[in-house]
Amino acid sequence: MDMPMDLPSDIKSKDMDMPFLSVLGDVMMDPILQEYVNRVMRLIKQNFNPPAGTEISKDTKSTVVFQIARNGEISEITLNSSSGNKVWDRLAVRAVQITKAPPFPSSLTYEKLVFRFNAKEE
């Protein structure tokens, strides 16, 4: 599976170890958006299921960047940072690909949002 690895520098961040799922860009985080992010995070976590017994270092992390449109459609899925483990990377991308995100709450006025998912060994 060939995946582009580079994104514009404004999407890359020094704090890539931060939250499991975060919103990128100039976005005002409010309680409604935070609840939406938490909901999407739970859905992605449910879909990120490395096989039991997978030998992965605690430092292993893949970063996937993607967009969610107002209607919940996920697109522009890109492996932004590889863990160095192709299987782990593919599982991280797949977790986003198979997630069925809900539409945005009506009070959110965004047409789309860009998210960063950090798939880390916990």
Domains and CATH numbers, the chain: 21-120 (3.30.1150.10)
Return the pLDDT at 5. Answer: 39
Output the DSSP codes for 84-102. Answer: S-HHHHHHHHHHHHT--PP
pLDDT at 6: 43
**Res 85: pLDDT:** 87
Tokens (6 digits) for 97: 């690909």
Contact 6, 82 (CB under 8 A): no
The pLDDT assigned to 4 comes to 42
CA dist., res. 107 & res. 63, Å (int):
29
Please list the pLDDT of the chain residue by residue as tens digits (122 residues): 444 434 344 433 333 344 589 999 989 889 999 999 999 999 999 999 877 766 777 777 899 999 999 999 999 999 999 988 898 999 999 999 999 999 999 999 999 999 999 988 76
Which residue from 47, 50, 38 is spatially nearest to 99, judged by alpha carbons?
47
Dihedral Cα 48, 49, 55, 61, nearest 10 deg: 0
